[in-house]
Structure 1
């Protein structure tokens, strides 16, 4: 099982991460299937894009596979696509694999907003994931942080 532990003082707030790449490169990493497959998901997970139509009203579906080989689907719809500044998508189906004991699965849809802002160091990515139950919110924060780190590693090979 993946370690999703967080300190108890963690509060709901945007996750901000600076990636050493241009806003266009970082944005593309969110909407080009082969790039998404290289970084999306918590450490130890692999991901396969089943569908990704990055336009307002376009759908996405990802198959996420845990280290133990179990898979689940994460799917939803894009609400706003403003290249290279902002993405907003609603997640209808969450991947509830290998949740820590006692963690309530996320059954309702949630909303993710990702803002990309150029800086002298690259691109500041600000991600806000709302409408999550309290247990799942903590897991999502860890998963997003791990994913953004993986994305930066992927992009640093070819960027800036």
Structure 2
């Protein structure tokens, strides 16, 4: 059975070694986002992110070579420290890019000071764009986990 474009959603989870309040801060505060956002090798020279419903955000991503990429969107839901949701759109998008909705749901892991983050993002137009975002989120979450481990 072939997926229709509206069915292409990224779903993944990651466990971080910190309390939900700390993880939520890392997912929603500009100072933290600048330290972990994006794939390995990318830096964040500039970003605006204010975690309040209706606020617009913009992130500049600098790859190891070439010019920067820009993305932005609007905060849709902010339930500290349980849930964060926002739209995600590339500026000057690829022909296969569409605005997606990112939702991050945080849940304390029983028995030990860790938090699971369940991420959903979509819908995507193509499997290739979904895969690109899966790789980016995987790298970014691994970077964040390392930062949180150092902080602990």
TM-score above 0.5 = yes
User: C-alpha deviations, 1:49-96, integer Å up to 9, x for none?
Assistant: 431121110111000000104201110000000010001100133586
Alpha-carbon contact 1:21-1:123 (below 8 Å) kept: yes
Q: CA deviation at 1:40?
A: 0.4
Picking from 135, 149, 153, the partner of 2:142 is: 149
Question: Is the Cα contact below 8 Å between 1:17 and 1:124 reproduced in 2?
Answer: yes
Structure 1 unaligned spans of 5+? 1-10, 97-103
Kindly tell me the number of residue pairs found equivalent between the two proteins: 142
TM-score scaled by structure 1? Answer: 0.81
1:86 aligns with 83
SS in 1 for 2:21: helix
1-side partners of 2:65 and 2:86: how far apart?
Answer: 28
Spell out the pairing of 1:11-90 with structure 2 (5 A cutoff). 12-90=9-87
Q: Structure 2 stretches of 5 or more lacking a match?
A: 1-7
Aligned-partner Cα distance in 2 for 1:148–1:95: 25
Detail structure 1 runs of 4+ shifted over 4 Å in the superposition: none
Check conservation: 1:81, 1:88, Cα contact below 8 A.
yes
Q: How does 1:109-128 map to 2 (within 5 A)?
A: 109-119=99-109, 120-121=111-112, 122-128=114-120
Q: CA deviation at 1:113?
A: 0.5
* Residue 131 of structure 1: aligned partner: 123
TM-score w.r.t. length of structure 2: 0.86
Tell me how large the CA RMSD over aligned residues is. Answer: 1.8
Q: 1:49 to 1:87 in 2, by over 3 A?
A: farther
